[in-house]
A and B are shown apart, each in its own frame.
Chain A
Amino acid sequence: MAEKVVYRAKKKKIKLFDIVNYIVFILIGLLIMVPIWKVIVDSLNAVGVYQFRLWPDQFTVGAYRTILEEESLIRPFLNSVWTTVLGALLGLTLSTLGGYVLIQFDMPGRGLFATFLTITMIFSGGMIPEYLVMKELGLTNNTWILVVKHGLSVYNLVLMRNFFEGIPGSLYESARIDGCTPMGIFFKIVLPLSKAALASIGLMFAVAVWNDYSNVKIYIMDPLKVNFQYKLMVMVADGDTPNTTYGVAQSTLHNAGIIMAILPFMLLYPFLQKYFVKGVNIGAVKE
C-alpha cells in the first residue's frame, strides 16, 4: 500500500497502471499459492480432510517428525541429498569441460565434437537398451544411477558454452601469453569468472536429480536405495497395498512429504536468485 502512495506522489499519470499491475500480481500470487496452501494445511492437519481448508482442523507436526524419524523415509531423503549434490557437481564438471573445449575455434575436430554431442540430443537407445547397458555397468539397483544419469546434459553444456563465449577473448589471450596451459586458463580465468553460470546451471542439474522419479522406478528395486521423490510418489499414488502405518493419518504424511520435497529449493532459492538471473542472462541471451 505504502508503495502506491509514494508512486502517486511522484508520477500521477501512472497511478492506475500500478494499481492494476499490483492487483493482477496479487491475484497471480494467490492462484499459485492456493493449491500449495492446500498441501501445507493438510500436512499440518491431524485428520485427513479431502476438501479445501484455510487452516488445519487439528494442528500437528507429527507428520514431519515421522519423516525425520522413520528410517524408511529419512533414508530416501538423505539419498536425495547426496545424489543431488554429487549429480550437480558431476554435471557441472562435464558441462564446463565440454563447454570450454567447444569454444576453442582453432581446434581441429571442434565441429566433429559438437556433432558428436548433438546426436545424443536427438537419438537415444530407448529404455530397455539403456537398462541393459546400466546393468552391464553395475548401476541397476544402485543409487549412483541418479548421479550418472544426470551427469551430462547437452542442453546445459550449450548454455555453459554460450556463457564462456561471453568472457572477453582478450582475457584468454593474455593468460596464454603468460604461459598458462589450457587447464590453467580453465581454473584461473574461466571458472572464477563463471560463478553466476555455475550457480544457475548447477541449480538446473540439482532440480533434475532431486525431482527424478522415473529413473528410480526403472532402475532401483531396493526400497532403501530409492530417493525421496520416488518414495513420495509410492506413498501418494500407489494403489492397493496397505502402506505401513505410521503414527499419523496417511494423507497428512503424504502432504508433509510433498512439502519436504520442495522445501530444500524454497530455502535455497533466495540465495541463488541473483546469481541465477545473471547466469542465464549472459549464457543464453548473449547475442
Chain B
Amino acid sequence: MFEKKKVMTSAGVEVRKKPLGLRIWTNRGYYVMFLPVAIFVLILNYWPMLGVRYSFYKATPITMNKGTNEFVGFANFTKLFETDAFWNAFQNTLELSIMKLLITTATAVIVSIFLNEMGNLLAKKTLQTIIYLPHFMSWAVVASVASLLLSPSVTGMVNGMLRDWGVLGEADKNIYFLADKEMWRPIFYIINIWKETGWGTIIFLATLSGINPEQYEAADIDGATRLQKMRYITMPALANTILTVLILNLAKVLNMFESVFVLYNDAVYDVSDVIGTYIYRQTFAVALPNYGYSTAVGLFRSLVGCLLFVICNWASKKVRGRGIV
C-alpha cells in the first residue's frame, strides 16, 4: 500500500499523462470519499426527479396510490400556458426577485462601506450583531409584525407618523400599504431590505477587511478625501464580489416563495403572485388537487431555471474565469 502510494506521488505533475486506469486507481481514495455524497444525492435528489412523469398525468391523491393516474399527454402544460394567472405569476417572479436581488445587494454594499468606515470597534460589532438579527426571524413572524406597523387602521404606527408629519392631511384616508397595488412592491422591497441587508453585508465586509491598508495610507499621503478613497479604492475592490453574489443568486431567482406568501393577498395578486405561490394555491387550497398540474408547473419552472443557470454560468465564466460550480 505504502509502496504504491510512493510510486504514484513521485509521478507528480506528470499525472495527467498516465493511462486512465492508473489515474483512476491513483485517485481511488477520493472516489470512496465521494461515495457518501453520491449516494445521498442519488437517493434524495435524483430518485424524486423520476416523479416529473406525473406532469403528463392527471394525478389526484387517490389515483396516485392506486396507480390509476390517467395519462393526459401535454394537457397539463397546455392548460398552464393558457392560464393568464400563470403568466402573471411568471412575470412577477422575474420582476420581483431580480429587483429584490439588486436592491438588497445595493443596500448591503452601501451599509458595509459605511460600517467599514466606523472607527469604534465596539460600536461596529454591536451594530453588526443588531443588523444580522432579522435574518434569524422567520418570514411569518416578520409579516405579522409588518402588518401591525403598516396597518391602515388608527393603530397603524406608520400611518400615524405620516399623519403627524403632515404627509397625510385631514381629509386623506390611511394608506393600506399591503393591499394597494401601487404600494405593495415598494413595501415588499423595504421589508426585504430590513430582513436581509445585515446578512448580506457579511460577505462584503469580509472583502473590505481584505483590502491592503497601504492603499489607503498612500491615498492619504496624496491628500485624498474620504469619499475619493471610497470611489477609487473601496468600490473597485468590491466590484468582483458584487458580481459573484449577483451571479450566484441570479440562478435561483425562480425559487421565490415564502417572503411573498406571507405578505401578499388577493387584492394585489396582479403585482405579487409568483410561481411558488401559484403552485401553492393549486396544490394546497384545493380539496382534491391534481398533483400532475402542480408538477407540470414545477417542471416548467425547472426548465426556465435551467436556462437562467446556463446564462449565469456563461456570465460567471466571462467575469470570473470559471463556472458557478
Q: Do chains A and B touch in the complex (CB under 8 A)?
A: yes
Chain A contacts to B: CB under 8 angstroms: 3, 7, 13-14, 17-18, 21-22, 24-25, 28-29, 31-36, 38-39, 50-52, 93-94, 97-98, 100-102, 104, 106-109, 113-114, 116-118, 120-130, 132-133, 137, 148-149, 151-152, 154-155, 157-158, 176-177, 179, 181-183, 186, 207, 211, 213-214, 229, 232-233, 236-237, 258, 261-262, 265-266, 269-270, 273, 276-278, 280-281, 284-285, 287
Closest CB-CB distance, A69 to chain B, in whole Å? 23
Please measure, in the bound complex, the distance between the C-alpha atom of A128 and the C-alpha atom of B140, giving whole angstroms.
Answer: 24
State whether B155 touches A98 (Cβ < 8 A).
Answer: no
Please measure, in the bound complex, the distance between the C-alpha atom of A266 and the C-alpha atom of B50, giving whole angstroms.
Answer: 41
Residue interface bits B188-221, CB-to-A below 8 A is 1, else 0: 0000001000100011011101100000000000
State whether B111 touches A28 (Cβ < 8 A).
Answer: yes
- Which residues of chain B have C-beta atoms less than 8 A from A232's C-beta? 138, 141
State whether A98 touches B138 (Cβ < 8 A).
Answer: no
State whether B30 touches A101 (Cβ < 8 A).
Answer: yes
Please measure, in the bound complex, the distance between the C-alpha atom of A112 and the C-alpha atom of B220, giving whole angstroms.
Answer: 50
CB < 8 Å neighbour of A128 from B24, B45, B54, B309 = B54
Known: A108-B27, A116-B41, A181-B5. A97 touches B36 (CB 8 A): yes
State whether B203 touches A125 (Cβ < 8 A).
Answer: no
CB < 8 Å neighbour of A183 from B29, B258, B305 = B29
The total of chain B residues at the interface (CB under 8 A) is 96
13 A-B residue pairs with Cβ-Cβ distance under 8 Å, sorted by A, are A25-B114, A32-B194, A121-B251, A122-B306, A124-B48, A125-B52, A127-B294, A152-B44, A177-B9, A179-B9, A266-B129, A285-B206, A285-B210
- Which residues of chain A have C-beta atoms less than 8 A from B148's C-beta? 38, 50, 52
State whether B125 touches A273 (Cβ < 8 A).
Answer: yes
Closest CB-CB distance, B251 to chain A, in whole Å? 7
| Stretch from B81-89, B115-123, B173-181, B267-275 that touches the partner | B115-123
State whether A94 touches B29 (Cβ < 8 A).
Answer: no
- Report which residue of A31, A36, A117, A281 has the largest number of chain B beta carbons within 10 angstroms of its beta carbon: A281
Please measure, in the bound complex, the distance between the C-alpha atom of A22 and the C-alpha atom of B291, giving whole angstroms.
Answer: 54
- Which residues of chain A have C-beta atoms less than 8 A from B15's C-beta? 106
6 nearest CB pairs, A to B:
A129-B51, A125-B48, A281-B206, A182-B29, A120-B45, A126-B298
Instruction: Report the nearest A residue to B289, measured CB to CB.
Output: A128
Please measure, in the bound complex, the distance between the C-alpha atom of A277 and the C-alpha atom of B199, giving whole angstroms.
Answer: 11
Please measure, in the bound complex, the distance between the C-alpha atom of A21 and the C-alpha atom of B116, giving whole angstroms.
Answer: 11
State whether A129 touches B48 (Cβ < 8 A).
Answer: yes
State whether B129 touches A270 (Cβ < 8 A).
Answer: yes
State whether A94 touches B115 (Cβ < 8 A).
Answer: no
- Which residues of chain B have C-beta atoms less than 8 A from A104's C-beta? 27, 30
Q: For the complex, would chain A's binding face be called helix, strand, loop or mixed by DSSP majority?
A: helix
State whether B125 touches A117 (Cβ < 8 A).
Answer: no
- Does B240 have its Cβ within 8 Å of any Cβ on chain A? yes
Please measure, in the bound complex, the distance between the C-alpha atom of A207 and the C-alpha atom of B195, giving whole angstroms.
Answer: 14
Please measure, in the bound complex, the distance between the C-alpha atom of A65 and the C-alpha atom of B305, giving whole angstroms.
Answer: 47
- Does B302 have its Cβ within 8 Å of any Cβ on chain A? yes
Please measure, in the bound complex, the distance between the C-alpha atom of A233 and the C-alpha atom of B198, giving whole angstroms.
Answer: 24
Q: For the complex, would chain B's binding face be called helix, strand, loop or mixed by DSSP majority?
A: helix
CB < 8 Å neighbour of A213 from B64, B140, B295, B324 = B140
Closest CB-CB distance, A10 to chain B, in whole Å? 9
Instruction: Report the nearest B residue to A148, measured CB to CB.
Output: B44
Chain B contacts to A: CB under 8 angstroms: 2, 5-6, 9, 15-16, 20, 23-24, 27, 29-34, 36-38, 40-41, 43-52, 54, 59, 64, 111, 114-115, 117-120, 123, 125, 127-138, 140-142, 144-146, 148-149, 155, 157, 194, 198, 202-203, 205-207, 209-210, 225-226, 240-241, 244, 248, 251-252, 258, 283, 291, 294-295, 298-299, 302, 305-306, 309, 320, 324-325
Instruction: Report the nearest A residue to B149, measured CB to CB.
Output: A35
Known: A31-B194, A100-B33. A36 touches B52 (CB 8 A): no
Closest CB-CB distance, B233 to chain A, in whole Å? 16
State whether A152 touches B40 (Cβ < 8 A).
Answer: yes
State whether B298 touches A124 (Cβ < 8 A).
Answer: yes
CB < 8 Å neighbour of B144 from A137, A207, A236, A277 = A236
Please measure, in the bound complex, the distance between the C-alpha atom of A211 and the C-alpha atom of B205, giving whole angstroms.
Answer: 25
Known: A29-B130, A229-B138. A117 touches B325 (CB 8 A): yes
Other A-B contacts than A22-B123, A52-B149, A114-B325, 5 sampled, CB-CB below 8 A, are: A32-B133, A120-B45, A128-B64, A258-B137, A285-B241
Please measure, in the bound complex, the distance between the C-alpha atom of A182 and the C-alpha atom of B119, giving whole angstroms.
Answer: 45
- Which residues of chain B have C-beta atoms less than 8 A from A107's C-beta? 23, 27, 30-31
Please measure, in the bound complex, the distance between the C-alpha atom of A50 and the C-alpha atom of B153, giving whole angstroms.
Answer: 12
State whether A118 touches B40 (Cβ < 8 A).
Answer: no
Closest CB-CB distance, B88 to chain A, in whole Å? 21
Instruction: Report the nearest B residue to A50, measured CB to CB.
Output: B155
Please measure, in the bound complex, the distance between the C-alpha atom of A272 and the C-alpha atom of B285, giving whole angstroms.
Answer: 42
CB < 8 Å neighbour of B291 from A101, A128, A182, A285 = A128
Closest CB-CB distance, A11 to chain B, in whole Å? 10
